């Protein structure tokens, strides 16, 4: 029975706070930019003190004791949520998988690095039914180890140890994931208004998997990848195979990794659909207080054990679902399969004939044997010609399959952690993997001033130096901690050829900086950043302020062999509001694209404002266009951009191609030109408040100092070795 807070017969009371999220003050201002995405995870939401260091706490963690506790928990079945066959391994693996499996390479968002699975909407996804129970089962361990162990690390660790407990030799594990304290506000999961709405809404053409809306990486809202019953719930393994390929590609997995993960994930555990799905209760956050956080309540039978309903499909995949073995491929290829309906009414594949001894036993009564099942995704491993070939290879080579899965599982669970500098613990693999974007350590022992003098005498303009450093660093994504200036990958494919990097100009600049780096015995990466810093210092000097931009040596130079070219392609900027550039005329407004880029770079709205204002006046626009260069002193780091933007003596006149004339109201003379990415800082009331602040006469120096701080933040965003 549903128990909601009833207002009937209760005393009215005035309360002035907007205490639910049904209505927002933004409802009155529907076209406003969502700056909340820049300021999420503010320190106010975090109960840990500002001086808290998770890395320091990890040093105190007794890893062996923790592993022992997790191993013990796996077989300590609790009456309130009993373990299938007395082993929680399948549940813990599903929890870890579904936490990490939200990752998508397109924008780097999602993944298991934050424990966002604790919060809505993820805890309420249809694919995540009962995972809140897995976390509650883990709570005694989290309670015991406290701040020395994040939820994010524990969730992934529990899945990894579950595999080890069942017999897999895992590839390794790294601690280092830090928890967030409220759900992310920046992740777009889809435009649908209901869970599992037909897939057609996500595709240009649902028959062509590649037309799925970017950056999404699941076929329906509320699923991790594909519908286990088939595309739009209609079984068709070949069609499902195409959608698997696309969704796993968007998760940075190739065909071999995809087969290994599918098979390895379904070697253990089971599906749950032993009941009427239509009578399930409300989603985890939708019930009364006594129901929230436990998943969809299930009135079928006991609602647990053999009566559990989660996916709707019912049954295990293999004969021994608590054992790591080659049973998945043997079951798949040694039987003919036909379509059946589960007790919950879901389409599933069952063997047309099977010996009794090959059937898995019931989760509660081991004397009962039941049919194994396959989902449409499993059948794709047998029907899709590429997947079939890989599957047969794995079927005949169990050790090869085990290693492939162990590596793919490690990649799945660590993909969003960034470089190995962020890894911690005794089980970190020594091997460097290409998807980790490895960068060798660079030299730190050199005279910075000597190098700067060489750059100063090289003939490069400040604009060239600044833009090259910026273009090298701006690829950084805080979402999965990839990109950035370290490695100097701007000189390698594919970055050297990106339109946004002005390949011809870039080549010229590199031809001057690379010899300086070589003769000085330092990395090109350091040289590029140092040149950018020098350019900023020169611009500040022209504005009348002597300032030294802080510089941290030690960047290294990556090689093409260290660069996963395909996975770097999504890092290509399609727009850069900081350099006033759009690759094409997009449906999304230029200011929204700038906001997205800003969020990925980990900048605040204030930092975005000072960077744009400074970049404009220093003459760093793409192609040296004059849009937004609101100054007569180009090359000087002045606050002129803000002064002229807020000057009511000017009128803004729209022109063609999204540009504007800035005209004198008195004379009608066109003084400047601009784009929306310029004028939004004067039109949006929040951004204008910052623009006015920096336009003040008493904030000229403050602007320069704030610009330098923001600039250094961008240059050092990927320097995890400094932490």
Nearest to 45 by CA among 196, 217, 180, 197: 180
What's CA 30's distance to the chain center, in Å?
Answer: 26
380, 241 in Cβ contact below 8 A? yes
The radius of gyration of the chain from alpha carbons, rounded to an integer in Å, stands at 28
Nearest to 412 by CA among 619, 261, 206: 261
282 burial (CB, 10 Å; 0-12 / 13-18 / 19+) is middle
351 burial (CB, 10 Å; 0-12 / 13-18 / 19+) is buried
Nearest to 109 by CA among 627, 600, 638, 624: 600
202, 227 in Cβ contact below 8 A? no
- Both tokens assigned to 420: 């190995």
Backbone angles phi, psi at 245, to 5 degrees: -60, -45
- The neighbour count for residue 461, using CB atoms within 10 Å, is 13
The CA-CA-CA angle for residues 93, 94, 97, to 5°, reads 85
The CA-CA-CA angle for residues 682, 688, 690, to 5°, reads 135
Cis peptide before 121 (omega within 30 of 0): yes
- Name beta bridge partners: 68: none
365 burial (CB, 10 Å; 0-12 / 13-18 / 19+) is exposed
Q: Which of 87, 98, 272, 627 is catalytic?
A: 98
Strand (E) or helix (H) holding 337: strand 337-341
Length of the chain: 723
Give catalytic status of residue 3 as yes or no.
no
Strand (E) or helix (H) holding 340: strand 337-341
Torsion of CA 289, 292, 298, 303, to 10 degrees: -100
Q: Catalytic positions, please?
A: 98
């Amino acid at each position: 029975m549903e128990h909601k807070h009833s207002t009937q017969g209760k005393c009215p009371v005035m309360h002035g706070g907007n205490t639910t999220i049904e209505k927002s003050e933004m409802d009155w201002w529907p076209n406003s930019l969502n700056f909340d995405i820049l300021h999420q995870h503010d320190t106010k939401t975090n109960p840990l003190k500002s001086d808290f260091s998770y890395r320091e706490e990890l040093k105190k963690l007794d890893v062996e004791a923790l592993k022992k506790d997790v191993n013990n928990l796996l077989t300590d079945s609790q009456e309130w949520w009993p373990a299938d066959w007395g082993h929680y391994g399948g549940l813990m693996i599903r929890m870890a998988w579904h936490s990490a499996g939200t990752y998508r390479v397109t924008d780097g968002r999602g993944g298991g690095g934050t424990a966002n699975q604790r919060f809505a909407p993820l805890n309420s996804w249809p694919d995540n039914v009962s995972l809140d129970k897995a976390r509650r089962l883990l709570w005694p361990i989290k309670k015991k180890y406290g701040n020395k162990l994040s939820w994010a690390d524990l969730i992934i660790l529990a899945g990894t140890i579950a595999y080890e407990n069942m017999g897999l030799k895992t590839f390794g594990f790294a601690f280092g994931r830090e928890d967030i304290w409220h759900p992310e506000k920046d992740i777009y999961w889809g435009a649908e208004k209901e869970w599992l709405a037909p897939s057609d809404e996500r595709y240009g053409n649902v028959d062509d998997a590649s037309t799925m809306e970017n950056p999404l990486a699941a076929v329906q809202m509320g699923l991790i990848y594909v519908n286990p019953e088939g595309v739009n719930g209609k079984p068709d393994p070949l069609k499902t195979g195409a959608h698997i390929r696309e969704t796993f590609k968007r998760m940075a997995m190739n065909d071999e990794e995809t087969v290994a993960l599918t098979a390895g994930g379904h070697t253990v555990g089971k599906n749950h659909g032993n009941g009427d799905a239509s009578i399930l209760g409300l989603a985890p956050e939708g019930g009364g207080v006594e129901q929230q956080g436990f998943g969809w309540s299930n009135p079928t039978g006991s609602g647990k054990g053999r009566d559990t309903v989660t996916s709707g499909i019912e049954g295990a995949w293999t004969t021994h679902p608590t054992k790591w073995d080659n049973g998945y491929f043997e079951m798949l290829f040694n039987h003919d399969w036909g379509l059946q309906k589960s007790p919950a009414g879901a389409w599933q594949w069952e063997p047309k004939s099977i010996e009794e001894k090959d059937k898995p036993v019931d989760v509660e009564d081991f004397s009962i044997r039941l049919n194994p099942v396959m989902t449409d995704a499993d059948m794709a491993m047998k029907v899709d010609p590429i997947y079939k070939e890989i599957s047969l290879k794995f079927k005949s080579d169990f050790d090869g399959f085990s290693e492939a899965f162990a590596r793919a599982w490690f990649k799945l669970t660590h993909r969003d952690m960034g470089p190995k500098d962020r890894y911690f613990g005794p089980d970190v693999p020594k091997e460097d993997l290409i998807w980790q974007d490895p960068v060798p350590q660079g030299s730190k022992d050199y005279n910075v001033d000597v190098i700067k003098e060489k750059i100063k005498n090289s003939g490069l303009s400040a604009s060239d130096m600044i833009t090259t450093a910026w273009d090298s660093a701006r690829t950084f994504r805080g979402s999965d901690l990839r990109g950035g200036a370290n490695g100097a990958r701007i000189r390698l494919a594919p970055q050297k050829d990106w339109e946004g990097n002005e390949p011809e100009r870039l080549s010229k600049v590199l031809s001057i900086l690379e010899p300086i780096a070589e003769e000085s015995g330092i990395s090109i990466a350091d040289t590029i950043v140092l040149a950018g810093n020098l350019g900023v210092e020169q611009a500040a000097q022209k504005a009348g302020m002597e300032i030294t931009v802080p510089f941290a040596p030690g960047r290294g130079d990556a090689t093409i062999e260290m660069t996963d070219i395909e996975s770097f392609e999504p890092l290509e900027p399609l727009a850069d509001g900081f350099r006033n550039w759009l690759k094409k005329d997009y449906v999304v407004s230029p200011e929204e694209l700038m906001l997205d880029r800003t969020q990925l770079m980990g900048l605040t709205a204030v930092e975005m404002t000072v960077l744009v204002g400074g970049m404009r006046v220093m003459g760093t626009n793409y192609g040296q266009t004059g849009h937004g260069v609101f100054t007569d002193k180009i090359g000087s780091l002045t606050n002129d951009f803000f002064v002229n933007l807020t000057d009511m003596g000017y009128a803004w006149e729209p022109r063609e191609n999204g540009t504007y004339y800035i005209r004198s109201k008195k004379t009608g003379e066109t003084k400047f030109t601009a784009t929306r990415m310029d004028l939004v800082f004067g039109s949006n009331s929040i951004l204008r408040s910052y623009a006015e602040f920096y336009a003040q006469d008493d904030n000229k120096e403050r602007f320069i100092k704030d610009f330098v701080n923001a600039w250094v933040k961008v240059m050092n965003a990927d320097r995890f070795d400094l932490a």
